[in-house]
Amino acid sequence: MKEAKIKIRNVSFYYGTKLALNTVSLDIYANQVTAFIGPSGCGKSTFLRTLNRMNDLIPNVKITGEIIIDDVNIYDRQIDVVNLRKKIGMVFQKSNPFAKSIYENVAYGPKINGIHNKKVLEEIVETSLKRAAIWDEVKDRLHDSALGLSGGQQQRLCIARTLAVNPEIILMDEPASALDPISTSKIEELIFQLKELYTIIIVTHNMQQAARVSEMTAFFYIGELIEYGKTKKIFTNPEKKQTEDYITGRFG
């Protein structure tokens, strides 16, 4: 197997004194989709947010262990969090476009990176929207408000906005949980295409979704990583009883 893109070593995470993640270790590989599954409150979203240091924004949290991305520990003192987040994009559970035009939403990231050339920006916006499979739906109304789009379109716009920064890794926190089945299948199709170019990590409540889109699956339960392996194996022949109980729907 190829070299891991992200190496997580003994990561524990605390909200105040409450332990939310207990010594989690796993490797995530490039150009694959890795799914995190588990019941609500199992720590999978918390874990996802440690990967781009979004949890830094919450007061009174503590993290121990190492997260090494491309041979660099992202919790090292010298790490510039702003640059880290440019490399690791994130798509949230609830679509959160800015109250700006479709164009401005996608151009936001490049602009804060100092790109102001109109032609370059237009190109980035077009490429990103095409990659997010929403270009055909919005190309005639790029300068209309993004808030006028449907929920599914907004989520794909948010994906386009993330792609515009040209990240290497994309974190998705239940990106389709608020969407209807048609929009969900569009997002899944999109994830399938995007893994050619990006390393994708997706948190999901939807077991079928994890089975459909991912190569690797990690099952979390109450802050512990119970089982991690090839999605096929996890879903057909899990090693641990807890995993089997969860995926067969006996709890959670």
Partner 1 sequence: MKKWTNKLTGGIMVGTTALSVVIIIAIIVVMFVVIIIGGKEQISWKFLTSFPEDGMTKGGIFPAIFGTALMVLLMSVAAVPFGTITAIYLTEYAHENSFLSKCIRFAVKTLAMVPSIIFGLFGLGFFIKFVGDGMDHAFLGGHLKWGQPNILWASLTMALLTLPVVIVSVEEAIHTVPGSLREASLALGATKWQTIRKVVLPGARSGILTGTILAVSRGAGEVAPILFTGAAYYLATLPHSVSDQFMSLGYHIYIMSTQSTNVDQTLPIQFATTLVLLMLTFILNFTAVIIRARLRRTPK
- Binding residues (CB under 8 A) for partner 1: these are 52, 54, 57, 59, 82-83, 85-86, 89-90, 92, 94, 96-99, 108-109, 112-113, 158, 161-162, 165
Shortest gap between Cβ of 86 and partner 1 (angstroms)? Answer: 3
Shortest gap between Cβ of 93 and partner 1 (angstroms)? Answer: 9
Separation between Cα atoms, residue 161 and residue 105, nearest integer Å:
6
Task: CB nearer to partner 1: give 85 or 212.
Answer: 85
Shortest gap between Cβ of 85 and partner 1 (angstroms)? Answer: 4
Shortest gap between Cβ of 138 and partner 1 (angstroms)? Answer: 18
Strands 88-91 and 169-173: parallel
Task: CB nearer to partner 1: give 178 or 222.
Answer: 178
Shortest gap between Cβ of 70 and partner 1 (angstroms)? Answer: 16
The DSSP 8-state label assigned to residue 2 in this structure reads P
Shortest gap between Cβ of 188 and partner 1 (angstroms)? Answer: 21
The SS3 call for residue 166 is coil
For 202, residues 6+ apart whose C-beta sits below 8 A from its C-beta are 33, 34, 35, 36, 171, 172, 175, 191, 209, 210, 213, 214
Task: CB nearer to partner 1: give 64 or 96.
Answer: 96
Structure tokens at 88: 């690791």
Task: CB nearer to partner 1: give 99 or 182.
Answer: 99
Contact between residue 229 and residue 240 where contact means Cβ atoms under 8 Å apart: no
Separation between Cα atoms, residue 66 and residue 19, nearest integer Å:
17
For 117, residues 6+ apart whose C-beta sits below 8 A from its C-beta are none
Q: Which amino acid is at 172?
A: M
Task: CB nearer to partner 1: give 52 or 243.
Answer: 52
Task: CB nearer to partner 1: give 158 or 190.
Answer: 158
